[in-house]
Structure 1
Amino acid sequence: MLRRSLFKLLIASACIAAAPLSFALDAGKDYNLLQPAQPGGTNGQIEVIEFFSYGCPHCAAFDPKLTKWRAAQGKDVVFKRVPVSFGRPEWAALGRLYLTLNAMGLSDKYDSKVFDGVHKEYLKLNDEKVRNDWLTKEGIDVKKFNDTWRSFGIETAARRADQMAETYRVQGVPMLVIDGKYVPSDSGVKGEEAGHSRVLVNSEQLVAKARAEKPKK
C-alpha cells in the first residue's frame, strides 16, 4: 500500500489493494466492505472502479493483469478508472494526463504506454515540455490535447476524482471497488505478482456476488 504519510518510505514496497467478498471469501481477510457503501452500477450493471496513479509502480505492475481481467468480464461489468494524487503535484499532473486522454477516447490505447514512459523510460510526463514531446512521438494531436487539458471539463473531472478518493477513503493504490461495496484484497499473499493475481481472483467472485444481488427483472 502507498500511504500519504509513508509515501517516500514505501515507494519501493507494495501499494495497497484493499479487500474482497464473495461466496467463499472471508470478510476482513479476502475483502472489506466499503463504509459507507456508494452507488454501484445502474440498470443491472456492475461497476468496477480502479483508484490508481500513473506514478505508482505497483499500479504499473498491476495494469497488464488487470487489462486481461477486464477483457474477460461480461457485458454487464462497467469499468472505470479514477486517478488519485494524495496531494502530490506530480501525481495530480499525471492524473490530469489520464483524464485528458480519457476525454479524447485514447486512455485504453495509451495507458500502458504512459506506464512504460514513466516507469521504464523515466519520463517526467508531469512536465509540459516532456509531455508534449511524448505526445508528438506517439502521434497525438498536441494542440487538441492541451486545449482539452485546460478545459473546464477536465478541471471539473480532476476535482471530482479528488472528491471520490476522499469519499471512498482511498489510502493506497491500486485499489479496486466492486459495485460500490466490496474492496478486494490479496488475502495476505506474499509477493506482488501473486498478490495481484489473488486480488483479481477475489474480484471475480465479488463480481459474481454483486451480480447475484442485483434485482431480477
Structure 2
Amino acid sequence: MTGMVAAMREGLGDREVSILAPLFPATLGGEDHSDGYKFLISGGIDYIALTKAMINNAAAPGGRFGPIYLYGFSGGAQFAERYALFHSATLSGLVLASPGSVTLLDDTVEWWPGLAGACAAIGLSPDLASLCGIPVAIVIGSEDRVAGLVARPPGSPHGSIHEGLAGNSRLERARSLYASFRNSGIEASFHEVEGVAHNLQPVTLKAAEMIAQWIDAAEEP
C-alpha cells in the first residue's frame, strides 16, 4: 500500500489531490474475507457501501470531494472495474492495472465473468452509459504473462465455469477486457509498460501520469 501511494504521489507531481487508499479487512470473526472485496458483495459484506462510507468520511472535513479518479492494481483492479460498472456516474476517470480476473461486458455470460445476472447478484443495474462518458485506461506490464492465476472453479468461493473466459494470463485478460470495452462503445485506451511483469510501482506510476493528464485537461479553460 505504501508503495502504491508513493508511486501515485510521484506521478501526480505537485497537483493538489487527496489519495484515498482503502484497506478492506482480510479476516473477520476468524473467517477469511481476503478475496471478497473483488466481487463487491461477499460473505454478507457490501463493499460498495463500505467504499461510499470511506469517501464520505474522508470528504467530511471539507464537505465534499472534487472529481474522483478510481485506480486499482491486481485484485484492486478487479474491485475498481466492478465498482465502476455500477457507479461510473460518480467517477471522473478509471484506470485498471494488471487485473487477475475481469468482467467482460457480455450479458450472455453469467456474473462475474460476464454481466448476466449482475443485477440480482449486486442489487444494482450496470451503468455502461456513464462508463462511456469518462476516460478509461488499462495498464499492464508487457511481461505479465504468468499463467496459473487464482483458480475459481465451480463450487469454490466465487467459482464459475467461465473463470478462464478472458484468457490464461493477466496480459491476455487485460487485452480481452480492452476489446470488450471497445466493443461496448467505451473509448478505453490500452498501455503495456515494456519489460515489466506483475510489478506495482511502474504500472502505478504510469497510471498516475495518465490521471495527472486528465486532471490538467479538466482544469483547462
Q: Using structure 1 for the length normalisation, give the TM-score.
A: 0.32
The structure with more helix, counted as a fraction of residues: 1
> Which of the pair has the greater relative contact order for Cα pairs under 8 Å at 6+ separation?
1
